[in-house]
Structure 1
Amino acid sequence: MSVLVEFAMFPTDKGESVSSYVSRIIKMIDESGIPYRLTPMGTVFETETMDEALSIIKKAYELLEPDCNRVYSVVKFDIRKGRSNRLEQKIRSVERKLGKEVKK
C-alpha cells in the first residue's frame, strides 16, 4: 500500500517567519528515512501504512507543542492499495503524457 501525504504545519503565534519551526519537522522526517519532498507550501511524504503516516503527523505536532500556543495544520491523504513509490511515479506518468524526458 502507498499512503501519500501532503501537509503543512506551523505555529501561528510566532510572527511572520516560521522556518525555524518548520525545519524541526523536516529534520524529523529526513531522519525517519521515509521519502519526502519539501515544497514552498508544504511537504509531501510517502509511507506504507496509515499508521506510519499518522505517526509522522503526530511527531510533527509534538515538536511544536512545547513552545507554541497555536499550531495550524492542513493534511491531505492519497491512499492506494497495491502500489508503492508513487512519490516519483505520479510525476513521471504526467511528464510522459506531456512528452517530457523522464529524469532518472
Structure 2
Amino acid sequence: MITADLCIIPMGIEESSVGKYVAKAAQIIEKSGLNYQITAMGTQIETEDLKKLYEVCGEVQESIFEMGVPRVYTVLKIDDRRDIENRTLDEKVKSVKNRM
C-alpha cells in the first residue's frame, strides 16, 4: 500500500484562509475514488497505484491554478512500503498507538 501526504500551498493570494482550496482538492481526490483523510496540515492519501497518485496530485495542483492563484507550492511525501500488505493509514496509526 502506498500512503502519501499532499500539501498544496496557494501563494500570492490576499486572504490567509485556504479552506476553499483544500475543499477543491478534496473534491478532486474524492472523485478519483482514492481513500483519503484531511488533516490540519495536509491531506493523506492511500493507493495501490503510484501513477494514479501522481495523476490525482497533478489534477489538484492544476485546479488551484484554475482558481486564479498565480503560484502554487506543492509538497508530496510518499511512503511506498512493499514488505507488509494492507499497510493503510489507519493501520499505521494503530501500530503507533499500540506502542504507547
Flag whether TM exceeds 0.5 (same fold): yes
**TM-score, structure 1 as length reference:** 0.84
How many residues are paired up? 97
Matched residue, 2:69: 68
TM-score, structure 2 length as denominator?
0.87
| Residue in 1 that maps onto 2:90 | 88
In 2: Cα distance, 1:39 partner to 1:86 partner: 16
Match of 1:23, SS state, is helix
- Matched to 1:43, the amino acid is T
Compared with structure 1, are the counterparts of its residues 85 and 33 closer, same or farther at alpha carbon in structure 2 (3 Å cutoff)? farther
CA distance in 1, matches of 2:87, 2:35: 9
Q: Which runs of 5+ in 1 are unaligned?
A: 99-104
Structure-1 separation of matches of 2:97 and 2:63? 36
Equivalent residue letter for 1:80: R
